[in-house]
Amino acid sequence: MVQIAARAAAFAALLAAPPAVVLAADRPVTIVAFGDSLTAGNGLLAKDAFPAKLERTLKAKGVAVAITNAGVSGDTASTGLARLSWSVPAGTEAAIVELGANDMLRGVDPAVTRKALEQIVQRLTERKVVVLLAGMRAAPNLGPDYGGAFESIYTDLAANYDLLLYPFFLEGVAREARLNQRDGIHPTVGGIDVIVAGILPKAEELVARVKTKRGR
């Protein structure tokens, strides 16, 4: 009888523990991949797009995440800003922001791109969303002045807002014919694998920042 009473008391104590406290550290980190066609997975199956492959890779390493694909083909930084509030919903803990490639391809004034990206970053940080900024490089034919003004957007924002930065989203993929589709712009399945492998350490750091924030 004494043993039964002791077990019952222990079980009652367990039930009384706040479940949110017990489970908070283990629940998946909610991440939105917010970008253009490079995020959306233009020309690929949904399972082969960057967000889905990154989620599977992280889970295979024992990192609990839930990544939403909020990529829209053709988006510039400005059109991304216009849909930010509903593309990155309440409850999102982290965002991978990948925008600017279409601005560059269209020759948009870097000042316009900078302003829009900064507003995106400001709004997300105000909402306590942890940000990983994925940078982009300018095509050489746009000239050194344009290239310098464009590429500095990402390094400046990362420094000014203490963001995680992956300097070039297409690192190891750009201008590699075997890793790009026929348009020479959008990665193949193999190209996405290269991107995921490259950005993975930053994605793990993103998750770590979220978990640190949870514990405050």
HEC letters along the chain? CHHHHHHHHHHHHHHHCCHHHHHCCCCCEEEEEEECHHHHCCCCCHHHCHHHHHHHHHHHCCCCEEEEEEECCCCCHHHHHHCHHHHCCCCCCEEEEECCHHHHHCCCCHHHHHHHHHHHHHHHHHCCCEEEEECCCCCHHHCHHHHHHHHHHHHHHHHHHCCEEECCCCCCCCCCHHHECCCCCCECHHHHHHHHHHHHHHHHHHHHHHHHHHCC
Hey, which residues does 67 pair with through a beta bridge? 31
Name, in order, each residue with C-beta under 8 angstroms of 58's C-beta and a sequence gap of 6 or more.
65, 67, 200, 203, 204, 207
As annotated, the active-site residues are: 37, 183, 186
